[in-house]
Amino acid sequence: MTAKERKAYKDYKEAFLKEYPTKESYYKKLSEDVKALEEGRLETFPIEELDIEAMMKEVEEECESKAHKAV
């Protein structure tokens, strides 16, 4: 794992733990999402419609931007 990947993982983990500090908070949100999906209130996309390369480039640029601001 590169330093860039470790930093991205650390940032993701910190954001995740901030949003879901307990298992209960995570499962509550997951249950809400499942209910919304069943009721047709959650927007979904077929995998064929996603441009993964563009999404990854956007994430990398955002990570680099945050890294430059932190320095």
Nearest-5° angle of CA 11, CA 70, CA 14? 20
**Given pLDDT bands bounded at 50, 70 and 90, which one contains residue 53?**
confident
**Given pLDDT bands bounded at 50, 70 and 90, which one contains residue 71?**
low
Mean pLDDT of the chain: 88
Domain that holds residue 37: 3-70
CB contact at 8 A, 28 and 36: no
* pLDDT tens for each residue of 16-50: 999 999 999 999 999 999 999 999 998 887 888 88
How many structural domains compose the chain? Answer: 1
Torsion 26-29-32-38 (CA) sign: negative
Q: What's the pLDDT score for residue 49?
A: 81
Question: pTM above 0.85?
Answer: no
**Separation CA 34–CA 60 (nearest Å):** 29
